[in-house]
Amino acid sequence: MSHFYSILFAWFGMVAAGLFYVGAYLPISISVCILLCISLYMYSEYRRKRLGVLLMLYWLVYALPFIHIPPYLFFDFSTDPEKLWGLSVNPYMLDKQVIELTAMIGAVGGLGIAFGISLVSKPLQKSAILHSDGSQPLYHTMSTSIWIIWLAVGVVLTALSAPSQTIFTARYSQSLSSLDGSNFDSAWMMSYVCLTFAFCDALFERNYAIRRTKMFMMSIALFFVVVFYQFLRGDRDCVPWVFGLSLAYYNWAASVTQRQGFRISWSKVVGVAIVLVGVSQMIGEIRSALPSKATIADVVEVVGFLYESGIIGLGNALHGTWSAVLLTPLSVAGDEVYSLLDVKNGEDYLNLFLSIVPGFLADAIGYVRPIDSNSGPAWEMRYGLGGTHATVLPFRNFQMLGVFVIPAIWASILVMYERFALEKISVNRVSLLITLAMVSPHWLWYGEKNGFNGVVICLGLMVLYRISIGVSASSFERRRIT
């Protein structure tokens, strides 16, 4: 059956690409049906335990911006509304041909993801809770003293990369971090990956008393990072990271957490997701509406105003960051329709490779990266509020064929890694899963470089973690001998 799906997705993808190259675009209704069918296919594969939760998350993040396409099935293109998608209207939003191509780009990219997944037909095999002889798997963890160093480094990096003032003392856009000017844009990401290793090490700790101590300290650090250094500073970067930690606790590392009596509760995972998305949207609106210096009374007043005006609440639940993200595929689609698109023929991907060097190191050696926070594809979008959707670079470089092939490549790699990680879980493997979950919106909505940064940071810290395990083991042996 998997071969049937592979052939089906490849056929539809090639037909759609062929139509594009002869100047024909799929009707909006067909693109919407394709996206819906792919969603059903993904859900079916997940229920059959042939697909893990990581790819479900990536599909949700990928497809969410295109939630604004179905209303165009009933849209009168002769009207001139002031707002669409919760945003100010631009001419591309009202051009039927541009919307058809935008929807087609989303559908063909979805076919590529589905094709990449269908190539890996092996069922998921999760780690057993016990060995065949009834013993528990042996997991090596850090000593408490070294673990505390990892925790402290993560918290300190968070503190340095967060805005220095809270939303009560300065506007979000006016509050600079301690690392501003150092060109260390990935400091926040490194802090979360450090804390991820500390979290996973605590989960895999064999000594129950030490495990409780580590988890208690981790909970305190998590509270300070999320509440004090993120939400109270008007930041939301921690939201996908916290969700990744929840997935690890309830799904990826379930064989470890269950040995202490915990049970998987998907209602809790879904509840965490809804709360995090809601809080994220609320913070995004509040931080823009507060005065330069605010009090708790100001916050309450602003929340009441935003709710009464419909800016926050169920009526505006479909509008969010993803709405602005859709502007970028719309931008390249419109430029293509009006013959304004400069096809890069792989130049963007070469620039991505050339930009892997960390910013502070590039500054030290006098190297100018092609892509950084002040330059790159996001700055070249006709419409957009920063970042690019995962379909933009493939289309900008290789047109519709790239939109099919490149998502197929990364989807197949992700699904193979999740299978590999779950067959024999470890701190390193679960930490990379959490990192991939954390960077999913940053990668698929704000550009591929964020995904590369997250993976490179995690791979580097894997080496440091192995060294920390070795040092911990040596210390234990010395104490045992003495």
Please give the pLDDT value at position 292.
54
Which band of pLDDT confidence, cut at 50, 70 and 90, is reported for residue 99? very high
Structure tokens at 127: 């780690």
Contact call for residues 146 and 468 (beta carbons, < 8 A): yes
Please give the pLDDT value at position 322.
84
Please give the pLDDT value at position 83.
84
Contact call for residues 243 and 273 (beta carbons, < 8 A): yes
What total of structural domains would you count in the chain? 1
Tell which wins on pLDDT, 160 or 394.
394
Average pLDDT, the chain: 82
- What are the residues facing 84 on neighbouring strands? 87
Identify residue 165 by its one-letter amino acid code.
Answer: Q
Structure tokens at 51: 């697909």
Residue 177, SS3? strand
Tell which wins on pLDDT, 286 or 199.
199
Q: How many CB atoms lie within 10 A of CB 436?
A: 22
**Is the pLDDT assigned to residue 46 strictly greater than 90?**
no
The answer to whether residue 479 sits within a structural domain is: no
CA pair distance 124, 254, nearest whole angstrom = 14
Which band of pLDDT confidence, cut at 50, 70 and 90, is reported for residue 407? very high
Please give the pLDDT value at position 165.
67
Please give the pLDDT value at position 394.
95
Q: How far is CA 418 from CA 375, 412, 449, in A?
A: 33, 10, 21
What is the extent of the structural domain holding 10?
2-125+321-436
Q: What is the pLDDT of residues 256-292, one digit of tens each?
A: 776 444 444 555 556 666 666 666 666 655 555 555 5
**Is the pLDDT assigned to residue 295 strictly greater than 70?**
no
Contacts of 199 (CB under 8 A, 6+ apart): 218, 222, 245, 248, 434
Tell which wins on pLDDT, 182 or 335.
335
CA pair distance 118, 7, nearest whole angstrom = 9
> H-helix or E-strand containing 157?
helix 144-161
Instruction: State the average pLDDT over residues 221-246.
Output: 83
Please give the pLDDT value at position 413.
94
**Is the pLDDT assigned to residue 480 strictly greater than 70?**
no
The answer to whether residue 338 sits within a structural domain is: yes
Instruction: State the average pLDDT over residues 69-89.
Output: 88
Structure tokens at 337: 């329709």
Tell which wins on pLDDT, 286 or 225.
225
Q: What is the pLDDT of residues 422-460, one digit of tens each?
A: 888 899 999 999 999 999 999 999 888 889 999 999 999
CA pair distance 342, 396, nearest whole angstrom = 7
The answer to whether residue 212 sits within a structural domain is: no
The answer to whether residue 145 sits within a structural domain is: no
Please give the pLDDT value at position 2.
62
Which band of pLDDT confidence, cut at 50, 70 and 90, is reported for residue 104? very high
The answer to whether residue 235 sits within a structural domain is: no
Instruction: State the average pLDDT over residues 122-139.
Output: 58
Q: Give the range with max mean pLDDT: 113-127, 275-289, 344-358.
A: 344-358
Q: What is the pLDDT of residues 324-343, one digit of tens each?
A: 899 999 999 999 999 999 89
Please give the pLDDT value at position 288.
55
> H-helix or E-strand containing 436?
helix 427-446
Q: Give the range with max mean pLDDT: 109-123, 253-267, 306-320.
A: 109-123
Q: Give the range with max mean pLDDT: 152-156, 246-250, 382-386.
A: 152-156
Please give the pLDDT value at position 159.
87
The answer to whether residue 366 sits within a structural domain is: yes
